[in-house]
Amino acid sequence: MKIGELTVYAGGEFQKYEDAKVGLLTHGLQYGTGCFEGIRGYWVPEDSELYLVQLREHFERLAISAKILLMRVPHSVDELIEITTELCARNRFESATYIRPFMYKCAEDVGVRLHNVPDAFAIAAIPFTHYLDISGGVAAGTSSWRRADDSAAPPRAKITGLYVNSALAKSEAISNGFDEAIMLSHDGHVAEGSAENIFIVKNGVLLTPDPSQNVLEGCTRRAVIEIARNEFGLEVVERAIDRSELYGAEEIFFTGTAVGVVYVRSVDRRDVSNGKIGPVTQKIGTFYERLVNGREPKYRKLLTPVYAGRAVATA
């Protein structure tokens, strides 16, 4: 299906993507004054079902991002869940899906600020086709671009304009021959990848930067911490991590909506252990993959099925 023919939710109604336009001078476009979420849907053919992952957690984070930008999401989390499942059903998605809810300052005028600017809410959803071949792990490089600091522009909020920080780091990493960047914060501690949280295994303990380390508090991160503790009895410590701790780590992996759980095979051209996926990453990654495919009953609460009990609506 062409993108223009997809159904989106904008201006409080379902409409065609090609009919939902924004003007050239839109505040959010000019100044990056917006916030968004990225949500994955996993299509499971055996169940004829599309499972949307952590809708509630994503929408709760969107509400916080919006509040930081002096905006208010015009729906409750329950309403948002209903709108999102209806959107997927109207598009009749039967494949992996990527959902992008977002808010942006929609005034078409000039003047940078957050106050007294109207805002808009929309959700676009598309088939997810951005599969990277990450089966061989990721070669990561420490970026020369520092992660934005909470005192400048808060990474805890998923702010549109903040993604310049990620884009600079990502492109630098690629041009240096890496697959992904690891950004350090202003004080030199490990923050996160361009669109992933990071975990390391040290002496069998799972370490990840705590929320004060200028990271997005990832939904996958949260699920992985729960899985590690409750399913595998692992100790998980959230604390500041030095760059040099990366080099001696037994295992390193990234977590995120797009990548799931992916192992890092090298950092700054130093192999992580033997450069192969380690046992902790392996078991957590496998568990997460089963979870998002609806195969872990205890964690079904994290999934919203699109089609169960729904008469498929027409756009």
Shortest distance, CB of residue 223 to ligand PMP, whole angstroms?
8
Whether residue 158 lies in the annotated active site: yes
Beta carbons of 304 and 51 less than 8 angstroms apart: yes
Nearer to ligand PMP, 197 or 304 (CB): 197
How far, CA to CA in Å, does 51 sit from each of 20, 173, 193, 262, 271? 26, 33, 26, 20, 36
Structure tokens at 136: 């061989």
Residue 255 CB, nearest approach to ligand PMP (Å): 6
Locus of tokens 């005028």: 109
Q: How far apart are the first and last CA of the chain?
A: 14
In angstroms, give the least distance from the CB of 199 to ligand PMP: 12
How far is it, in rounded angstroms, from Cα 108 to Cα 297?
48
Task: Name the minimum Å distance from CB 311 to ligand PMP.
Answer: 31
Q: How far is the CB of 309 from ligand PMP (least distance, A)?
A: 27
Q: Which is nearer to ligand PMP, 180 or 251 (CB)?
A: 180
Classify residue 18 by its DSSP letter.
G
Of the two residues 107 and 180, which places its CB atom closer to ligand PMP in the complex? 180
What length is written for the chain?
Answer: 315
Q: In angstroms, what is the minimal distance from the CB of 34 to ligand PMP?
A: 14
Please name which of 140, 273, 239, 234 lies closest in space to residue 195, comparing C-alpha atoms.
140
What is the C-alpha separation between 122 and 197, in angstroms, rounded?
A: 26
Q: Which residue ranges make up the site for ligand PMP (CB under 6 A)?
A: 38, 166, 192, 195-197, 216, 218-221, 255-257
Nearer to ligand PMP, 195 or 291 (CB): 195
Residue closer to ligand PMP (CB basis): 185 or 255: 255
Identified catalytic residue from 21, 67, 158, 276: 158
For the four alpha carbons of 127, 132, 134 and 140, in that order, the dihedral sign comes to negative
Alpha-carbon distances, residue 38 vs 20, 59, 270, 278, 285 (angstroms): 19, 10, 31, 28, 20
CB atoms within 10 A of CB 44: 15
Shorter beta-carbon distance to ligand PMP: residue 222 or 295: 222
- Joined tokens for residue 214: 């200028």
Residue nearest to ligand PMP (CB): 218
Sign of the dihedral defined by the CA atoms of residues 281, 126, 315, 61, in that order: positive
Active site residues: 158
